[in-house]
């Protein structure tokens, strides 16, 4: 069966409505309340991104908070979405003063907020002088936020606009979580039950390679899935990778039940090495073995992402080879019509060829979806994210290792 859908991945349960008066892309700049910053931030720690264990240690050992008080702080921060400590009403005045003296709450700064004609919302968020983009895709039964994990990208996939932007740096755990917090704040989405949330799903499919920033991505995942905070189910989170083979099994071991997506995009090493350079380091055979290993740890189907490039990877033979490649583990193939960007060297496969390709996979017994582009008019569709941030060599380190 072939499905045509606009969703990114998996199920959600939320609805999202936009103002009827908004008929085209709109741009807004951040307000003082959106930035949630003040002159004290240079001398205090951002509480967003500190692990629950570390926050408990700091508040109990350094500031004499009782453990149940730490839980209250955590709930105010992540469950209720309060951005000022003065609103933590079940704490004493002394405790609130202590928090104000040593910490601040900062989700980042919304530099630009764009709304597509189809309801997709792209946010340009500033962090420490650099910017990243995150995208919210609303649908009738779910709302998915696509988050970034790096400023720029480690790998230069030739069909991806982000790949034309050199890696600037890894995002911190707080900056990754901050994207989710910012989206919920802008949509007044804190304090609701799971069933009523607008933002129900998170996918790591924005700028950057998540597994090449594993330490910070994993720290963010622990905060996102904490049941007393943001409380996102692991089944509603998907991490996409271009194929960092050594860390795929690690992800499955650390987060059982989490979704995995593989940016495959070709069914043979020759083509994949040309369009996804990481294939030269970890070829398809090693990547497929990593998928089989991951499947022994998780019951979820692995999503195979496959961008449709005319005359490059879209032949019937490519489809036959793809079906053979992924037949040894549970999978869902997500065919992605190529979304063009300024200077792109490719064209999208024809609609007829995409249907033929999907039909070959369907006859092979594979579950296939064809992603319907969302947010193209604001360059928010898959493969279209890029910011103007550049690397400052004198102050920033070189390319990080996967665990940095």
pLDDT single digits (tens) 249-282: 999 999 999 999 999 999 999 999 999 999 999 9
Residue 95 to residues 49, 73, 229, Cα–Cα distance (Å): 20, 10, 20
Dihedral sign, Cα of residue 63, residue 69, residue 71, residue 73: negative
Q: Which is catalytic among the residues 153, 157, 348, 382?
A: 382
Give the pLDDT score at 127.
94
Task: Give the CA count within 13 Å in the CB-facing half-sphere of 280.
Answer: 8
Between the ranges 154-158, 299-303, 318-322, where is the mean pLDDT highest? 318-322
Least-confidence region, from 52-61, 63-72, 137-146, 192-201:
192-201
Active site residue 133: yes
Question: Class of the 48-104 domain?
Answer: mainly alpha
Between the ranges 30-44, 190-204, 322-336, 376-390, where is the mean pLDDT highest? 322-336
Q: What is the DSSP letter of 236?
A: G
Least-confidence region, from 124-133, 279-288, 386-395:
386-395
Dist CA 279 CA 297 (whole Å): 24
Give the pLDDT score at 159.
87
Residue with tokens 């604001």: 378
Active site residue 160: no
| Residue 111, burial from CB neighbour count under 10 angstroms (0-12, 13-18, 19+) | middle
CB neighbours of 397 closer than 8 A, spacing ≥ 6? 169
Structure-token pair, residue 111: 């530099």
In terms of pLDDT, which residue wins out, 372 or 337?
337
* pLDDT mean over 176-180: 98
Mean pLDDT of the chain: 85
Give the pLDDT score at 346.
92
CATH for 2-20+129-378, options being 3.30.230.10, 3.20.20.70, 3.40.640.10, 3.30.420.10: 3.20.20.70
Tell me whether the CATH fold assigned to 2-20+129-378 matches the one assigned to 48-104: no
**Of 390, 392, 342, which is closest to residue 166 (Cα–Cα)?**
390
Give the pLDDT score at 42.
73
Structure-token pair, residue 235: 């089944």
* pLDDT mean over 9-25: 33
Give the pLDDT score at 33.
42
Other beta carbons within 10 Å of 241: 24
Give the pLDDT score at 329.
96
Share of the chain above pLDDT 70, in %: 80
Is the model's pLDDT at 11 over the cut of 60?
Answer: no
Q: What confidence tier does 163 reach under pLDDT thresholds 50, 70, 90?
A: low
- Where are the domains positioned within the chain? 2-20+129-378, 48-104
Q: Which is catalytic among the residues 34, 131, 133, 139?
A: 133
């Amino acid at each position: 069966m072939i499905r045509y859908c606009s969703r990114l991945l998996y199920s959600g349960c939320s609805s999202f409505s936009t103002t009827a008066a908004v008929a085209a892309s709109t741009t807004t700049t951040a307000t003082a309340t959106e930035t949630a910053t003040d002159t004290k931030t240079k001398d205090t720690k951002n509480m967003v991104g500190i692990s629950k264990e570390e926050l408990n240690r700091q508040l109990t050992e350094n500031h004499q908070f009782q453990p149940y008080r730490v839980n209250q702080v955590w709930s105010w921060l992540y469950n209720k979405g309060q951005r000022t400590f003065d609103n933590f009403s079940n704490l004493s005045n002394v405790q609130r003063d202590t928090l104000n003296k040593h910490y601040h709450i900062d989700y980042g700064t919304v530099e630009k907020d764009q709304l597509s004609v189809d309801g997709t919302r792209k946010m340009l968020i500033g962090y420490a002088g650099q910017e990243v983009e995150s995208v919210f895709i609303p649908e009738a039964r779910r709302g998915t936020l696509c988050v970034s994990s790096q400023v720029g990208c480690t790998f230069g996939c030739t069909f991806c606009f982000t790949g034309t932007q050199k890696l600037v740096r890894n995002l911190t755990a707080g900056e990754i979580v901050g994207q989710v917090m910012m989206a919920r704040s802008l949509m007044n989405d804190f304090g609701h039950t799971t069933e009523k949330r607008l933002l129900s799903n998170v996918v790591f499919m924005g700028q950057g390679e998540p597994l090449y920033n594993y330490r910070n991505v994993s720290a963010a995942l622990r905060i996102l899935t904490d049941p007393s905070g943001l409380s996102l189910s692991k089944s509603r989170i998907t991490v996409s990778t271009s194929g960092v083979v050594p860390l795929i099994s690690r992800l499955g071991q650390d987060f059982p039940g989490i979704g995995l997506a593989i940016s495959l995009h070709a069914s043979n090493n020759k083509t994949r090495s040309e369009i996804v350079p990481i294939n030269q380091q970890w070829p398809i055979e090693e990547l497929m073995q990593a998928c089989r290993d991951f499947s022994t740890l998780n019951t979820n189907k692995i999503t195979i992402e496959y961008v449709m490039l005319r005359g490059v990877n879209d032949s019937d033979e490519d489809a036959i080879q793809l079906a053979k490649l992924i037949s040894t583990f549970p999978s869902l193939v997500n065919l992605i019509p190529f979304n063009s960007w300024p200077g792109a060297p490719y064209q999208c496969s024809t609609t007829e060829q995409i249907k033929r390709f999907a039909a070959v996979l369907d006859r092979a017994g594979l579950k296939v979806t064809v992603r319907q582009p969302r947010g193209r008019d604001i360059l928010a569709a898959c493969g279209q994210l890029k910011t103007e941030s550049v690397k400052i060599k004198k102050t920033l380190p070189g390319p990080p290792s996967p665990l940095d």
